[in-house]
């Protein structure tokens, strides 16, 4: 971090050198990559056939909904948020009016936060 910042010309020279160096991967590397790809593809095809077709079709709507929201971890998050919402709804914040009076200096209500049509109809 103590080196001076690189100028645009020097950076462009580095990019140009990288563009000129177009080294191709070796044939041995490409062969190993293709072998790994074939093994992975064969494993994926055989994994789908591990269950009989009838068992795969029996998953049903609840299993599809569970998969759509992200599985069991996501369902746990949704359940926790639901329980927290019920708790806030039941226990609720006590006296919000008194708190807003202390903080803002005057009591505000929900009707003060929303403009009404009377505001727009006044002349002057």
The percent of residues in the chain predicted with pLDDT above 90, rounded, is 21
Q: What is the pLDDT of residue 37?
A: 92
Helix (H) or strand (E) holding 38: helix 27-48
Find out whether 47 and 39 touch, Cβ atoms under 8 Å.
no
Q: What is the pLDDT of residue 54?
A: 59
Find out whether 35 and 41 touch, Cβ atoms under 8 Å.
no
Report yes or no on whether pTM surpasses 0.75: no
In this predicted model, what pLDDT tens digit does every residue of 42-74 receive, in sequence order?
877 665 555 555 555 567 888 888 888 888 999
């Amino acid at each position: 971090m103590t080196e001076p910042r690189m100028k645009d010309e020097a950076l462009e020279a580095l990019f140009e050198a990288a563009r000129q160096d177009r080294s191709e991967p070796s044939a041995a590397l490409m062969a190993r990559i293709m072998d790994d790809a074939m093994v992975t593809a064969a494993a994926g095809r055989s994994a789908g056939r591990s269950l009989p077709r009838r068992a795969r079709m029996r998953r049903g709507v609840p299993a599809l909904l569970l998969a759509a929201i992200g599985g069991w971890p996501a369902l746990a998050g949704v359940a926790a948020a639901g329980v927290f919402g019920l708790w806030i709804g039941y226990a609720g914040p006590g006296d919000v009016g008194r708190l807003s009076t202390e903080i803002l200096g005057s009591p505000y209500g929900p009707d003060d936060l929303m403009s009404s049509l009377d505001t727009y109809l006044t002349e002057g």
